[in-house]
Amino acid sequence: MHATAANDTAANSDRRGEARPVLIVLEPTSSLIPVNLHELWGYRELLYFMVWRDLKVRYKQTMLGAAWVILQPLVMALVFTIFLGKFARIPSGGIPYLLLVFSGLVPWMFFSTAVVSSGNSVVGNSHLITKVYFPRLLVPMAAIGGRLVDFAISFLVVAGLMCYYRVHIGWRLATLPLFVLLLTTLAFGVGTLTAAWNAKYRDVTIMLPVIVQVWMFVSPIVYPVDIVPVRWRQFYNLNPLVGLIEGFRSALLNRQLDVPALLISVAITLVLTVYALYVFRRMERSFADVV
């Protein structure tokens, strides 16, 4: 299904005009283009409202509200620091272990919550999907948007920790937005794919937490990449999070970056996201019938 012209404001303001600006053609889809950007843009306000709803609802009736965004990774980082840094003495490559963990945990928490909430978003919004039309892609997008706001807030703590440890800020900090963008893209790709499958196969809801847990430990969150044996490294780098999380650390802590590993991550992220868009496009037609 596609709209030849989206409901833009121009169409709206002169609706009594002689020419009818909006034509919607409904027929079985066969388009090869996975996303109708023009239409998405026309619905940007709805995206904004959905993100806003997500945040509002999440922190309503919680006493600490958005403070949870900061407390969650802080508590986890402290636990990891005590058990893995102090007791298990995992090497942290010259940086304080708390800083190492935290600079990995903050992007990881964003990624994992974004994937889980966007993965469950289509099923969770079935009451909307079966009752009203809007581009279905908005649903996983909005879920990620909400987590992105959390992510931004949790950066305050990162900044605080960096001050505390007197981290030397270098030019690499300028690359941070790139990694935020890449991580968001990856979360969007994985989340969208998951959301589409989840609409049809509820196994995904059950599998998702397990996959996320495993993913955390096969990514350099609570340990530095260096402890992975070199002969495993090539295989290990196929996990796109490796390059992205390391990229975050490199930007924040001004450390050397493994560029080939990053390029692999970027390539996998892009391929995965395009694939996810195709799968979503193919499956979204039946969402209202199966969800």
Partner 1 sequence: MTVPIISVQNLSKQYRLGTTSYSHDLREAFAARLRAPLRFKASDNQTSNQAVWALRNVSFDVEPGEVVGIVGPNGAGKSTLLKILSRITEPTSGRAELHGRVGSLLEVGTGFHPELTGRENIFLNGAVLGMKRVEIERRFDEIVAFAEIDRFLDTPVKRYSSGMYMRLAFAVAAHLDPEILLVDEVLAVGDAQFQAKCLGKMNDVARGGRTVLFVSHNLASVLTLCRRSLLVKDGGIFCDGPSSEVIGQYVNIGATPLTGEQIWPDFENAPGNDNIRLHAVRIVSAGMTTADVDIQKEVHVQVEFWNRRPGARIMTSIHLLDKLGAGVLSSTNMHSANIVRDDWFDEPHPAGLYRATCTIPANFLNEGRYRINAIVLTNISKIEARADDAVAFTVHETGSMRKEYGGEWLGVVRPRLAWQSQRLEESSSQASEANL
| Separation between Cα atoms, residue 9 and residue 130, nearest integer Å | 26
Q: Is 282 in the site for partner 1 (CB under 8 A)?
A: no
| Separation between Cα atoms, residue 225 and residue 250, nearest integer Å | 12
| Burial degree of 171 (CB within 10 A; 0-12, 13-18, 19+) | exposed
| Residue closer to partner 1, measured from CB, 129 or 268 | 129
Q: Is 289 in the site for partner 1 (CB under 8 A)?
A: yes
| Separation between Cα atoms, residue 246 and residue 256, nearest integer Å | 9
Shortest distance (Å) from residue 149 CB to partner 1:
17
Shortest distance (Å) from residue 23 CB to partner 1:
6
Q: Is 12 in the site for partner 1 (CB under 8 A)?
A: yes
Q: Is 38 in the site for partner 1 (CB under 8 A)?
A: no
Residue 188: phi and psi, rounded to 5, are -65, -45
Of 57-65, 71-79, 151-159, 262-270, the window that binds partner 1 (rule: CB under 8 A) is: 57-65
Amino acid residing at 113: T
| Separation between Cα atoms, residue 238 and residue 287, nearest integer Å | 32
| Residue closer to partner 1, measured from CB, 28 or 94 | 28
- Residues in the interface with partner 1 (CB under 8 A) total 41
Q: Is 210 in the site for partner 1 (CB under 8 A)?
A: no
Shortest distance (Å) from residue 244 CB to partner 1:
28
| Burial degree of 197 (CB within 10 A; 0-12, 13-18, 19+) | buried
Beta bridge partners of 3: 24
| Residue closer to partner 1, measured from CB, 33 or 227 | 33
Query: Restricting to residues 81-140, which ones interact with partner 1 according to CB under 8 A?
Result: 127-134
* Secondary structure of 216-236 as H, E, C letters: HHCCCCCCCHHHCCHHHHHHH
Q: Which residues sit at the interface with partner 1, rule CB under 8 A? A: 1, 7, 9, 11-12, 15, 20, 22-29, 45-46, 49, 53, 56-57, 60-61, 127-134, 200-204, 285-286, 288-290
